[in-house]
Structure 1
């Protein structure tokens, strides 16, 4: 037990200022996304730029590539959420839901690309977690795209992948980042609950409008 506690203490002491910066901005951008606040996107840009450096040095190459994708989708999401917006910070884009055929496409993409990227990482890099890295990367790709399109289920996918990321980052001695993803887990749950309420309210208003 003492050895375990000492290991945790050593990990905390080893946390760099750049990981703290990525952690704080990462938590803030996800919280703002859950609140449908468009400012989540510029803050996300700061966070993912930081994590490009962090993950590359941790030899999490799939996650490194993922950050470049996050960077591009953050710019896109910022535009998409802002387009047609009123003079406030809450996105005017409506929340949507996935159809059964969308889940089938997601499953095929997840399985196919996880195997492909995992094989490439195992063959051409020195990572010790090629397939887990690949699976989490592809899952995050999907969740991030659904977030930019304001699909309700993006939060469920984030919950799923965050649960996997927590032990992965502990394994990679990225304690602050593992704590961040623990926080992400609860923010994603709250985001799903809040977005579901907003979606149900909007659908209710549509039904009333049809009756009138």
Structure 2
């Protein structure tokens, strides 16, 4: 019975705003993992909710990240809708060496600059928060551009976020990010299969020529 009471107390501490953010967040990531374009409008709803959630939790870097996500989600929705006429969905791409180099530099630069700025505010874990934010900035662009390796970045950063949100008592959000890890792994496997199918299709097309 004590466990039941603890669960009831825990549930009463959760907010409807966070609950709605979790539901829409899980749904949009799942739809992205299975290559469904409807992930983008649902993602727009989710990030809008989390702008307010992170503001109240003093996670300012994450709050700013949601504004960025809002913009990139609109771009992703547009990019995915511009698929080739002979394709059912936008083809999956592989990250290039140049993109890896630019991403590493961007993450290091953004982490240092934002972390240094947030250090002088009430922000929680300024450098960890900034590092996760920088990784997420890069991952979201790769997701919008349908680059396979975006899922590997998400797996890495979501594991860190789980710990951060547990310490900030955002338990529902921590659970959501733990589930994100599993969905991101599923997304990587599913997209990799699609990429291999594209290669086979392209090879067959060259043979037919």
Cα deviation, 1:145-193, whole Å, max 9, x if unaligned, reads 1000000000000000000000100111100000000110000000000
Q: Does the 8 Å CA contact 1:12/1:175 hold for their aligned counterparts?
A: no
The separation in 1 between residues aligned to 2:166 and 2:8, in whole angstroms, is: 13
Show the counterpart of 1:200.
196
Show the counterpart of 1:144.
140
The separation in 2 between residues aligned to 1:10 and 1:55, in whole angstroms, is: 22
Structure 2 gaps of 5+ residues are none
Q: How does 1:62-81 map to 2 (within 5 A)?
A: 62-81=61-80
List structure 1 runs of 4+ shifted beyond 3 angstroms. Answer: 5-12
TM-score (norm 2): 0.93
Q: How does 1:160-175 map to 2 (within 5 A)?
A: 160-175=156-171
The separation in 1 between residues aligned to 2:59 and 2:5, in whole angstroms, is: 25
The separation in 2 between residues aligned to 1:164 and 1:197, in whole angstroms, is: 27
Q: Does 1:158 align with 2:154?
A: yes
Structure 1 gaps of 5+ residues are none
The separation in 1 between residues aligned to 2:100 and 2:177, in whole angstroms, is: 24
Q: How does 1:14-29 map to 2 (within 5 A)?
A: 14-29=13-28
Show the counterpart of 2:119.
122
Is the partner of 2:89 in helix, strand or coil?
Answer: coil
- How many correspondences in the alignment? 206
Give the 3 Å change call, closer, same or farther, for CA 151–84 of structure 1 in structure 2. Answer: closer
Show the counterpart of 1:181.
177
TM-score (norm 1): 0.91
Show the counterpart of 1:37.
36
Query: Aligned-pair distance for 1:84?
Result: 4.3
Give the 3 Å change call, closer, same or farther, for CA 9–74 of structure 1 in structure 2. Answer: same
Show the counterpart of 2:205.
209
Show the counterpart of 2:94.
97
The separation in 1 between residues aligned to 2:88 and 2:144, in whole angstroms, is: 11
Query: Aligned-pair distance for 1:105?
Result: 1.2
